[in-house]
């Protein structure tokens, strides 16, 4: 895939990239995204490991196998999208892994309701919600969405830049409700990386907020973030 459009990125950024998740796929993704962020053809490396790669967790054989399967399933589509996309990096459509699971308590839901002023009974009245459409109180969709930032911070860390900006969302859907006591996590992949004015890089990340044991995800989204030298 052609990354010539990204060469204008400030080569003095010296951004360091760390990717959690599957050891094999995670390291490969970090190396490729690092090239885009640094505007370099190759990432710098120390003997035995890549500079700036600080994986937070190493997974066993099962995790590596699962990561390889995910990559294989998306590889053909990723290559097609890469040929069409502008400024798409070699890391496009690479998996970033999955975050840890976090619990959604009624206390968390109530705190979000107080912060936003959204006290609809399906979220905050357990007794009434028990006979409602979901059979129990459910978390606000935007509470689920807001968890993207802290969960994503477990998967991708970019150091050595002056500014990091949440640029917005391309699309969001909430396929399934999250009930009190459920656990959720984020699984994400890098969809694209493009140069933007003022020495920056914009990345698009496809995220899925999964419910532990659930048949459908709580949220699916595409998030846009920008990093500036």
Instruction: Name the 3-class secondary structure at 176.
Output: coil
CA 38: distance to chain centroid?
20
Question: Do 202 and 194 form a contact (C-beta atoms < 8 A)?
Answer: yes
CATH topology for the 4-104+144-228 domain = Thiol Ester Dehydrase; Chain A (3.10.129)
Residue of higher predicted confidence among 12 and 226: 226
Phi, psi angle pair for 191, to nearest 5°: -90, -40
Q: Where are the domains of the chain?
A: 4-104+144-228, 106-138
Share of the chain above pLDDT 70, in %: 59
Write out the H or E segment, with its range, that includes residue 129. helix 126-129
Check residue 197 and report its DSSP letter: T
Residue of higher predicted confidence among 32 and 223: 223
Q: What is the pLDDT of residue 30?
A: 66
Q: What is the pLDDT of residue 138?
A: 98
Q: Which residues pair with 209 in a beta bridge?
A: 186, 219
Question: Do 55 and 91 form a contact (C-beta atoms < 8 A)?
Answer: no
Residue of higher predicted confidence among 12 and 195: 195
Rounded Cα–Cα distance for residues 150 and 51 (Å) = 24
Residue of higher predicted confidence among 176 and 69: 176
Average pLDDT over residues 48-62: 32
DSSP 69-98: HHHHHHHHHHHHHHHHSSS--TTTTEEEEE
The string of pLDDT tens digits covering residues 159-210 is 878 889 999 999 999 999 999 999 999 999 999 888 888 878 899 999 999 9
Residue of higher predicted confidence among 212 and 69: 212
Under the banding of pLDDT at 50, 70 and 90, the label for residue 45 is very low
């Amino acid at each position: 895939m052609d990354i010539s459009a990204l060469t204008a990125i400030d080569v003095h950024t010296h951004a360091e990239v760390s990717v959690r998740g599957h050891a094999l796929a995670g390291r490969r993704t970090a190396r490729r995204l690092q090239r885009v962020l640094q505007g370099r053809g190759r990432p710098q490396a120390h003997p035995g490991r890549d500079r700036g790669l600080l994986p937070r967790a190493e997974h066993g054989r099962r995790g590596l196998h699962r990561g390889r399967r995910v990559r294989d399933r998306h590889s053909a589509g990723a290559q097609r999208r890469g040929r069409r996309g502008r400024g798409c990096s070699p890391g496009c459509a690479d998996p970033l892994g999955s975050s840890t699971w976090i619990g959604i308590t009624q206390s968390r839901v109530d705190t979000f309701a107080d912060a936003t002023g959204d006290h609809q009974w399906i979220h905050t009245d357990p007794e009434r919600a028990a006979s409602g459409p979901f059979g129990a109180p459910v978390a606000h969709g935007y509470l689920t969405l807001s968890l993207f930032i802290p969960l994503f911070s477990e998967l991708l860390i970019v150091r050595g830049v002056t500014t990091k900006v949440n640029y917005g969302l391309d699309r969001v859907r909430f396929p399934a409700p999250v009930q009190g006591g459920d656990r959720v996590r984020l699984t994400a992949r890098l969809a694209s990386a493009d140069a933007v004015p003022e020495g920056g890089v914009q990345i698009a990340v496809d995220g899925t907020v999964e419910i532990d044991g659930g048949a459908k995800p709580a949220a699916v989204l595409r998030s846009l973030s920008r990093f500036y030298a």
